[in-house]
Amino acid sequence: MSLQTLKQQALANPQVREEYNKLENEFSLIDQLLSMRSTAGLTQAQVAEKMGTQKSNISRLEKGSSNPSWKTLLNYAQACGFQLAIKATKVS
Amino acid sequence: MSLQTLKQQALANPQVREEYNKLENEFSLIDQLLSMRSTAGLTQAQVAEKMGTQKSNISRLEKGSSNPSWKTLLNYAQACGFQLAIKATKVS
DNA sequence: ATTAAAGTTATCCTTTATGATAACCACCAA
DNA sequence: TTGGTGGTTATCATAAAGGATAACTTTAAT
């Protein structure tokens, strides 16, 4: 059995799929944060300053070890010169 | 001077515009939550049950008086049968 | 090899989001 | 009018987010 089919079977389980989807979303969230800041050409310290906080907090945010609030996401995006919206897509 | 031009002038101020953008985003967030649940045809109590919480908390969430965490948004979306992503668009 | 800048990690403290419960309002059907 | 359903509000307790500071690692430049 290949890894692919193993993954398929695992994802056939609705419970597993839910967790998987959540993980995917978390990954993409962090990716988006990083990509916003890098295309803005800003350092963590610069973003922190614009947000009125500390660079260590930005690092914590970007390392994915936390669970940011919506307002924090908005502020971060704004500091990087972006506007934010959520995209909801029907699943299953 | 018309209301329109007054608004334009106000929005010409970067600080004002930042706040305005944040508000717009907050509105659209709540709209999306409501729309997810209504297209799913679920009651607050049903969503609450799927999320493992209480209907009063769902109400609080939807009334916009709070600032939900990303995971809370993911859970809510999932309970309504949606997947979530953030869309970042360059501004100004 | 040194230095400086960028990023990471740990810790403490304060604020706030979230869970839980209970009482309430609005509406509609029986 | 009564009962049921969907939604709201208030309050409390607890878990967790976010701010601040400091020490540390990594990386890049000279």
Q: For residue B60, give how far its alpha carbon lies from the nearest alpha carbon of chain A (Å).
A: 15
Residue environment code for A18-54, b if the CB has 16+ CB neighbours within 10 A, otherwise e: beebbeebeeebeebbeebbeebebebebbbebbebe
What nucleotide is nearest A55 when CA is compared to C1'? Answer: C7
SS3 content of chain A, % helix, strand, coil (to 5): 70, 10, 20
Q: Is the CB of A60 less than 7 A from some atom of nucleic acid strand C?
A: yes
Q: What DSSP designation does B69 have?
A: B
User: What is the pTM for the complete model shown?
Assistant: 0.85
Q: What is the per-residue pLDDT across A19-28, written as a single tens digit (0 to 9) for each?
A: 666 666 666 7
- What is the CATH superfamily name and number for domain A3-79? lambda repressor-like DNA-binding domains (1.10.260.40)
In this complex, is the C-beta atom of A65 within 8 Å of any C-beta atom belonging to chain B? Answer: no
Q: How many Å from the CA of B55 to C1' of C24? A: 14
Q: What is the per-residue pLDDT across B6-57, written as a single tens digit (0 to 9) for each?
A: 556 666 666 666 666 666 666 789 999 999 999 999 999 999 999 999 999 9
For chain B, give every domain's residue range. 3-79
Q: Which nucleotides of chain D are near protein (any atom < 7 Å from a CB)?
A: 5-11, 16-23
